[in-house]
Amino acid sequence: MAINFETLDYLQDGNEKQRRAHQVLASHSVIENLVGFDPLLIGTIPLNIDIEKSDLDIICCWKSKNLFIETLIENFAHHHGFLLTEKKIAGHETIIATFQIDQFEIEIFGQNRPTKQQEGYRHMMIEHKILSNNDETFRQKIIYLKKTGLTTEQAFAKQLDLVGDPYQALMRFGEQQLKI
């Protein structure tokens, strides 16, 4: 099923957790407060493969690191557990803000590159395509593997018998097999 992940509209017709996520994000204007940074909700909740401890992951693209940091602090620092970190991930300067709203932990992840080129988005699109090409049993196996402690990418790699680093193997699979 084709889903437009560029908006949150699909969450309104989703499962209970997806509908709650939409309500929390909308009522707290999370996406609206990030609109200048091309925000996209990614991860397991949009794909309906979440487990109890799954968080809401939002990726962003910043041109000005300082403006992005100021925006995060101004709009989200008042939320419970707010933490802002800077680090290099795969050679990319990355700003990460985490905080809690209601029952959801939210992680906002920003890099100075387009959101659709970031690994998180690319992995999600590959995983979405794989899920679309398989049945409910496959989806349930991914959820089971995640509950045993595997990351999403590790679960997909195990289920697809991919070898090597699961993150890279999944990316190669998507590029070669799915043409994503």
Domain ranges of the chain: 9-113, 121-176
Q: Rounded CA gap, 11 and 46, in Å?
A: 7
Phi-psi region at 102: left, alpha or beta (left = phi > 0; alpha = psi -120 to 50)? left
Q: Measured between alpha carbons, how far is 97 from 95 in angstroms, rounded to an integer?
A: 7
pTM: 0.95
The answer to whether 169 touches 163, Cβ cutoff 8 Å, is yes
For 9-113, CATH number?
3.30.460.10
pLDDT in tens, 38-48: 999 999 999 99
- Residue 56: the pLDDT is 97
**Tens of pLDDT along 17-71?**
999 999 999 999 999 999 999 999 999 999 999 999 999 999 999 999 999 999 9
pLDDT value of residue 178: 82
Strand pairing category for 80-89 and 92-101: antiparallel
Tell me what percent of the residues of the chain surpass a pLDDT of 90. 93
Lowest-pLDDT choice from 57-61, 108-112, 119-123, 174-178:
174-178
CA distance 70 to 139: 39
Q: What are phi and psi of 77, to 5 degrees?
A: -60, -25
Rounded to the nearest integer, the mean pLDDT of the chain is 95
